[in-house]
Structure 1
């Protein structure tokens, strides 16, 4: 399996799942969106914000990769979170609009900028507390998608507790059938 193809599939899965999650969340009342149900980030709106915060933080780190990814210059027009629990948007419509834009940016970046050889380079970055790290870029990219899956699972549970079904969540739906190849 080619690494770039795998990450593109993950980005497509991410985009599909975010669409399904936001569709389910749009059926909630404002009070339900904000209801603290005991998740790491409390509510549906809190967890959806955290997902975006994580993506924005990591993508800004990735923008400093030695490959100088031009597509990530578009991050300048997006919010700059200062903490992992930032509530960037307190209403669902602007959060969803920005989420769609961010998901497309991730796809465009992976399609046009990221090369297989980039995945084996080291990325030097600082965490939110200013501690420096040097880690394999491909593994950090895996972390980006794993983080999304983890917290989307939490949102799916919160939505279920509020009577909303997000539909089929399996990555399997995004893996191409190769039986005709």
Structure 2
């Protein structure tokens, strides 16, 4: 299904997209970041908070490191804007380190974890979980991209073929 090179490319893509997206959102005032824009998590900030929560939750499953402290139903309020702005590059570096350390054949097993959302033990193919992880990022960044576009903010390219080699 996938190999470590896929995860490494998607980790680079994730960081590249978050870099410009967070700079664009930082250019908004607090009211614009907090307004309910009809996104799944309401506001731009709450959507990015949920995305950070999800990234940290999945990374804790992938690398065994620390995950978020709050439950899924509180993810929109888990991180304020200053914390998101400071911690997003840290999370992206963690994702990049994890992807860089993947060995050939890394995705040939199942991943098992306790799901607070489902209230039970889960087990799925590791490759499927990794694809979901990156797809989840793209999905919520796409929502924020649409909100920024509606606000008249100039956005950047989001197409993977335009991923810079040095990103």
Same fold by TM-score greater than 0.5: yes
Question: Hey, what does 2:78 align to over in structure 1?
Answer: 88
Give distance in 1, aligned partners of 2:149 and 2:54.
23
- Name the larger-Rg structure: 1
Question: Hey, what does 2:107 align to over in structure 1?
Answer: 119
CA contact (8 A) 2:11 2:95 kept: yes
CA contact (8 A) 1:39 1:154 kept: yes
Question: Hey, what does 2:3 align to over in structure 1?
Answer: 3
Question: Hey, what does 1:55 align to over in structure 2?
Answer: 55
Question: Hey, what does 2:152 align to over in structure 1?
Answer: 163
For the structure 1 residues 102 and 34, does the alpha-carbon distance in structure 2 shift closer, same or farther, using more than 3 Å as the test? Answer: same
CA contact (8 A) 1:44 1:158 kept: yes
Q: Which runs of 5+ in 1 are unaligned?
A: 64-71, 177-181
Q: Would you say how many aligned residue pairs link Structure 1 and Structure 2?
A: 163
- Structure 1 position 25, deviation (Å): 0.3
TM-score (norm 1): 0.83
- Range 52-61 or range 39-48, more displaced: 52-61
Query: After superposition, where does 1:1-181 map in structure 2 within 5 Å?
Result: 3-63=3-63, 72-73=64-65, 75=66, 79-86=68-75, 87-90=77-80, 92-112=81-101, 114-129=102-117, 130-174=119-163
Q: Which runs of 5+ in 2 are unaligned?
A: none
Give distance in 1, aligned partners of 2:164 and 2:103.
21
Q: How large is the Cα RMSD of the aligned pairs?
A: 1.9
CA contact (8 A) 2:57 2:68 kept: no
SS of match in other structure, 1:118: coil
CA contact (8 A) 2:2 2:127 kept: no
CA contact (8 A) 1:50 1:84 kept: no
TM-score (norm 2): 0.89
